[in-house]
């Protein structure tokens, strides 16, 4: 990840400021507030604001005036009950805002989660930096033969080198042409006074999807947990999964009791259909159940067997 001197100075200035408040604060999250956590080659996430804590979840569930005299273990038990039984509204009482720098193609996948407030860097107003995501060789894979939206065998040797060269060359050339069309001297050379230059809102169409963009992303705790349950999953695309994994560390710092319940009941849990449960009961009774006799499709049966074979 690369931050400019100006960005580093801005972050340090933000971290140097303090303000008295009667609002709840979380020391562990305050410690990392504003800090950029590196993701991919040029990306990052950083928490820039938040509201509430584990106590706010408990307070909302009990609709009480304050923390009262209940023990921490009781609060943890309530949060685990809420998570286990999918009582989601108390988690909506907490909010968090992230500043995220990410490749455009990851942003287009991320934005499908329509339960957040988003404000993205405007390429109509500003000029995008010359920064592109280039996968590390170990993440350069062919299309999966069994999953239409997944990856298969990792490319190697000359084939991998050729793909990486194409990615770098295409991104660089497109950005060069973008700068040339703008005619604003962003490449360090003076603008040509004889040319007007293309409008920024038009020139941006030439950029590749691995160009980096930035946005502010604000959401409540319930919808953050939903996002993380999908995107921190092993089946999620690597490039968005690493952002989700970085956000997990901020979640743990912010609401550790909620994080522990989420880890146990969402990240580390699976759901079985009614038909799967019937098969599981037969297996527990000692019956050797085959796919043909299970009543499940080949894919559903294989998924069930994969889950049962998975180590905890």
pLDDT in tens, 254-304: 999 999 999 999 998 888 999 999 999 999 999 999 999 999 999 999 999
The C-alpha atoms of residue 278 and residue 271 are separated, in whole angstroms, by: 13
Strand 95-103's sheet: what is its strand order? 37-39, 43-51, 95-103, 212-220, 117-120
The C-alpha atoms of residue 262 and residue 256 are separated, in whole angstroms, by: 10
The C-alpha atoms of residue 95 and residue 82 are separated, in whole angstroms, by: 18
CA dihedral for 91, 93, 99, 100, sign (positive or negative): positive
Q: How confident is the model at residue 246 (pLDDT cuts 50, 70, 90)?
A: very high
pLDDT of residue 234: 87
Whether residue 29 contacts residue 253, with contact meaning beta carbons closer than 8 Å, is answered with yes
Q: Closest Cα partner for 47 from 97, 92, 83, 94?
A: 97
Q: What is the mean pLDDT of the chain?
A: 90
Count Cβ atoms below 10 Å from residue 296 Cβ, excluding itself: 20
Residue 120 above 80 pLDDT? yes
Average of per-residue pLDDT across 183-199 = 73
Give the 3-state secondary structure of residue 13.
Answer: helix
Q: How confident is the model at residue 144 (pLDDT cuts 50, 70, 90)?
A: low
| Ramachandran category for residue 149: left, alpha or beta (phi over 0 → left; psi -120 to 50 → alpha) | alpha
Give the 3-state secondary structure of residue 103.
Answer: strand
Alpha helices in the chain, H assignment, sequence order:
5-16, 27-32, 54-62, 72-84, 104-110, 157-182, 200-203, 221-231, 238-254, 256-262, 274-284, 298-309
Tokens of 132: 């592109």
pLDDT of residue 11: 86
Q: What percent of the chain has pLDDT over 70?
A: 91
Point out the catalytic residue in the list 46, 200, 231, 266.
Answer: 231
Contacts (Cβ under 8 Å, ≥6 apart) of 3 = 11, 36, 44
Q: How confident is the model at residue 19 (pLDDT cuts 50, 70, 90)?
A: confident
Whether residue 207 contacts residue 178, with contact meaning beta carbons closer than 8 Å, is answered with yes
Q: How confident is the model at residue 109 (pLDDT cuts 50, 70, 90)?
A: very high
Residue 188 above 70 pLDDT? no
Answering whether pTM is above 0.85, one says yes
**Alpha carbon 167 to chain centroid, angstroms:** 23
pLDDT of residue 250: 98
Active site residue 299: no
Q: What percent of the chain has pLDDT over 90?
A: 68
Average of per-residue pLDDT across 175-194 = 78
Residue 209 above 80 pLDDT? yes
pLDDT of residue 157: 85
Contacts (Cβ under 8 Å, ≥6 apart) of 51 = 23, 94, 95, 96
């Amino acid at each position: 990840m690369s931050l400019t001197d100006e960005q580093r100075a801005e972050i340090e200035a933000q971290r140097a400021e303090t303000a008295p408040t009667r609002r709840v604060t979380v020391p562990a999250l305050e410690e990392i507030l504003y800090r950029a956590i590196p993701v991919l080659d040029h990306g990052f996430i950083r928490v820039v604001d938040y509201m509430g804590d584990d106590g706010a979840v408990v307070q909302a569930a009990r609709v009480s005036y304050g923390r009262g005299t209940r023990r921490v273990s009781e609060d943890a038990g309530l949060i685990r009950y809420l998570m286990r039984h999918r009582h989601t509204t108390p988690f909506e009482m907490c909010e968090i805002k992230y500043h995220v720098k990410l490749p455009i193609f990851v942003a287009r996948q991320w934005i499908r989660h329509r339960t957040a407030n988003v404000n993205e860097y405007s390429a109509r107003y500003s000029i995008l930096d010359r920064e592109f995501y280039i996968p590390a060789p170990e993440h350069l894979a062919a299309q999966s033969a069994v999953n239409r939206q997944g990856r298969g065998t990792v490319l190697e040797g000359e084939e991998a080198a050729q793909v990486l060269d194409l990615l770098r060359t295409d991104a660089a050339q497109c950005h060069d042409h973008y700068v040339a069309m703008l005619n604003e001297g962003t490449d360090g050379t003076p603008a040509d006074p004889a040319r007007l230059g293309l409008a920024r809102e038009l020139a941006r169409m030439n950029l590749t999807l691995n160009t980096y963009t930035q946005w502010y992303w604000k959401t409540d705790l319930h919808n953050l947990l939903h996002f993380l349950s999908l995107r921190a999953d092993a089946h999620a695309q690597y490039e968005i999964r690493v952002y989700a994994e970085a956000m997990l560390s901020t979640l743990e710092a912010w609401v550790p009791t909620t994080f522990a319940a989420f880890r146990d009941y969402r990240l580390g849990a699976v759901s079985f259909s009614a038909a799967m449960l019937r098969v599981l009961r037969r297996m527990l009774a000692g019956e050797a159940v085959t796919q043909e006799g299970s009543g499940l499709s080949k894919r559903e049966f294989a998924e069930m067997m994969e889950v049962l074979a998975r180590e905890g």
